[in-house]
Amino acid sequence: MRISYKKATNTETVTIQQIYDLIKDDLKKVESEFKKNLHSNIFLIRKMGEYILGSGGKRIRPLLVLLSSKLCNYKGESHVPFASIVEFIHTATLLHDDVVDEADMRRGNISANEVWGNGASVLVGDFLYSKSFYLMIEHGDMEILRVISKTTTQMSEGEILQLLKSNDPDTTEDEYLEILKSKTAMLMSAACQIGAILGRVSKEKKEALARFGLNIGMSFQLTDDCLDYTSSNDEFGKTVGNDLKEGKITMPLIHLLRNSTPDEKENVIKMIGSHELDEEKLISVIDMINKYGSVEYTMAKAKRYIDEAKSSLDIFEPSLEKSALLGFSEYVFERRF
């Protein structure tokens, strides 16, 4: 379905389906790139790669590369391989994350490390990382290489900081936001910057898209935090309270710990990281989260990031792609899975 330009720019209410429709041909090409780039004489690489890439990811990072490059009037074909590469990098981090978290589930499926073991997840993650750099270097754009290598370095620092802070009830809001920025928002920002670099737009527009991606990323992770305390079991394979069970201190919990009574705080701290968290205890935490409005607080923060993301696009003239990116911002904030 083709969205009418006028309608889209006037209403800014393009649906997520309309956005995906807008780039569906390119997204198909991105999927073909995955297949091509997973090629290896070693069957396990393709098998694991296809398993995790085919497990219901929303392709948000490729979408950002594709829409940003179109917004910046890029007419070439490199946006497709770069969209694929960014998702490869994301996939590598998922594989390594699951080893670090000792996760047994990912997106409602058994996690790769649970199926093939930690060793395979570490090494196939390394393959995806290395192959990503190999493919980027083939394309030879030094500016994109600089952005991505800086991003992946900072991502690993964010992951390490998160590991050091896991199960730490004294994690501050600022520390937490710093982790989110490094581990999630930077790659979304990089995805948008790729579009700007390919389109050779002004420094101001590049910075605007970098800010857009960064703020989208922050909001994306904060809404994700909320979904963990609000989504029902059958949506997106997530069960309520997973973060709490895994000892992940996320924004709603940070808010709760900051605002609850000493007794309540002590109780919550006891539950953090308890793999045997029963229904009753979980409900007691959710009740407290409701009582103190911790989800509302987090969503209000998420909303501010979205507003910031949207306003950073002011520098761009109205276009179908701009409307799609604005519409995508709404989706990030309003999504239910």
Q: What is the distance between the terminal CA atoms of the chain, rounded to a whole angstrom? A: 24
- Least separation in angstroms between CB 186 and a copy of itself: 12
- Least separation in angstroms between CB 107 and a copy of itself: 20
174 binds a copy of itself, rule: CB under 8 A = no
Taking residues 283 to 322 in sequence order and writing x for each that binds a copy of itself by CB under 8 A, - otherwise, the string is ----------------------------------------
Cβ atoms of residues 3 and 12 within 8 Å = no
The C-alpha atoms of residue 329 and residue 28 are separated, in whole angstroms, by: 22
| Number of residues counted as binding a copy of itself (CB under 8 A) | 40
- Least separation in angstroms between CB 19 and a copy of itself: 31
Q: For residue 312, count other CB atoms closer than 10 A to its CB.
A: 20
Considering only 94-102, 225-233, 266-274, 319-327, which stretch makes contact with a copy of itself by CB under 8 A?
Answer: 94-102
Those residues with Cβ within 8 angstroms of residue 267's Cβ, 6 or more apart along the chain or in another chain: 284
115 binds a copy of itself, rule: CB under 8 A = no
Those residues with Cβ within 8 angstroms of residue 221's Cβ, 6 or more apart along the chain or in another chain: 180, 184, 185
Helix, coil or strand: residue 105 = strand
123 binds a copy of itself, rule: CB under 8 A = yes
Answer for which of 115, 145, 277, 315 binds a copy of itself (CB under 8 A) is: 145
Question: Which residues contribute to the site for a copy of itself (CB under 8 A)?
Answer: 40-42, 44-45, 96, 99-101, 118-120, 122-124, 126-127, 129-131, 133-134, 137-138, 140, 142, 145-146, 149-150, 152-153, 155-157, 159-161, 163-164
